[in-house]
Amino acid sequence: MGLDLLIRNATVVDGSGAPRYRADVGVQNGRIAELGRIRAGAQRTIDADGLILAPGFIDGHTHMDAQVAWDPIGSCSCWHGVTSVIMGNCGFALAPCKPQDREWFARCLEAVEDIPTEAMMTGIDWTWETFPDYLGNVERLPKGLNYGMYLGHSALRMYVMGERALDERATPGDLQRMHGLVQEALRAGAMGFSSSIATTHVTPSGSPVASRIADWTEIEHLVGAMAELNAGIFQIGPDISGGEAHQACLDRLRQLAVDSGRPVMFGTLSTRQGIDPLPWQSQVGAIDATVAAGGRMFGQTTTRPIIAIFSLKSYLPFDVLPAWQAVRSLPLEAQQQRFGDPEVRQQLVAAEANMKPRDNVLQGGGAATTDPRKPDYSNLYALRGVDLNDPTVEELARVSGKHPAEVMLDLMQENEDQLFVQLLVNESMDDVRGMLKHPRTLATFSDSGAHVCQEMGSSLQTHMLSYWVRDKQAFTLEEAIRMLTFDNASAWELPNRGLIRTGYAADLVLFDEAQVKPKLPTVEQDLPGGARRLVQKAEGIAATIVNGRIAIENGEATGDAPGQVLKGPLAS
């Protein structure tokens, strides 16, 4: 019998970190069947001469829980070589959820993750209540990616406690019920349990999300439910509001990891925001100390700064000002015309002085766009490319002799697609490099599916390949591929993924080493109901293959949906 797919003459970078080699790769029944010089025929043959063949990239920090219901290709991740994602991070999930709470759940996700409520209520056929129901629903959906999922703490708490979840400690009865539901989710296939104590995570009213009301006794109890079954990963959004709070959080997580024996994951971040922020070196030092004490712990880091994106088509820093609101309520073309009116322009520039002054309160991408402070124009970049060498608005203002707000008006009047980028976290690329170099951090944390018109992290994989490998030569291609594939597969305990080996799942990405890079983001209105989001594609990727079938070819979806649900070890 012939092969389903044959990839000839590929340069194989197999995910292990070993040097590349030339080979053919044969695929049968969704798995890698042969490696070497293959003489058998196949239903489809790809000539990969001059191209790199790597395992499909794995992203362990996404929020695609809602998007999977209406987006079978898994964009924007699918365009960057990603074949597997983990969703339900930071305690945010859509299950368990009682029918009467669906819109409330959606509004909470909008408040924290900028996923429009209207898109969720329009795009989701919300037929589930329990976590096993939700997992079964995702199994039935057409999927271009593989999806694993956590049980989310905020969702769990609200399901068990109702409105009490938003302002009360859990009772012994609440804890007992949540304990049982954690174990039920693990047996159904959950990858683990996620939570958040991050001060940036708030409800639509600005109050803390449900998981932030829980005390450490509750968190320890629920992680203990996983420990009893010796299964499941604990992921948490830590408190990084200031150095003291951050260190106290890491100390508790170290004890939790040692006592429970369960792997603990959180974002490792470098920032100038907050009160005496904790350096990233101290964060990875806490990970090393935890491992030395007998625990398992991983940091998750981005491959570039975490940013807020502003544009005429989405948010602007000035949208909170009445003078700007009067113009921003107009159609796009009319806005540009008003920008050119000298009297209106003078009013808009003058209004900028009334913005809230900057402070040292940590702001994530959500608050930075919806409750912005007066811009630091030295940290606000006019985006021209994706190579992190763009001019700041302050630099452009100095050259032109104009007010920075007027410079932005000029650029938007000339180009309705002009983007401005504010660096929020991981502002220093030297810090990013240091975190990526640490052996216990994972190159992940895209937040794909969230902050849909505020941030854009879905291209972290192609940025890694273009910026850190090709441009800066900080990593070899073999090192970078290992970080994006096998390291993540190992951390999330995904069997038979992350390597090019016979018998492994045929999740593969085929790309041009000299050309691969992200494209500039654009603002599109392609969510259910016409809601807007940022879309970012990539160059240089010839094919993305999921479970042996081509899902994306030359940047276009094939219409095939070969994705599967990735389940934890206790799933039957």
Question: pLDDT under 70 in the chain at which residues?
Answer: 1, 364-366
- What pLDDT, on a 0 to 100 scale, did the predictor assign at position 359? 79
Q: Which domain holds residue 357?
A: 314-423
Query: How many folded domains does the chain comprise?
Result: 1
Burial of 194 (0-12, 13-18, 19+ CB in 10 A): buried
Inside any domain, residue 27? no
Amino acid 569 reads P
Inside any domain, residue 318? yes
Yes or no: say if 316 and 352 are a contact pair by the CB < 8 Å rule: no
Helix (H) or strand (E) holding 544: strand 541-546
> Residues 6 or more apart from 259 whose CB is under 8 A from it?
220, 227
- Tell which residue, 47, 74, 71, has the closest CA to residue 58: 74
CB atoms within 10 A of CB 147: 24
- What pLDDT, on a 0 to 100 scale, did the predictor assign at position 538? 98
- What pLDDT, on a 0 to 100 scale, did the predictor assign at position 203? 81
- DSSP letter string over 8-32? EEEEE--SSSPPPEEEEEEEETTEE
Q: State CA 133 to chain mean position distance.
A: 24
Inside any domain, residue 353? yes
- What pLDDT, on a 0 to 100 scale, did the predictor assign at position 96? 97
Residue 360: DSSP 8-state = S
Inside any domain, residue 538? no
Inside any domain, residue 268? no
- What pLDDT, on a 0 to 100 scale, did the predictor assign at position 305? 94
Inside any domain, residue 558? no
Residues 155-177: pLDDT tens digits? 999 999 999 999 999 999 999 99
Inside any domain, residue 369? yes
Inside any domain, residue 75? no
- What pLDDT, on a 0 to 100 scale, did the predictor assign at position 371? 81
- What pLDDT, on a 0 to 100 scale, did the predictor assign at position 118? 86
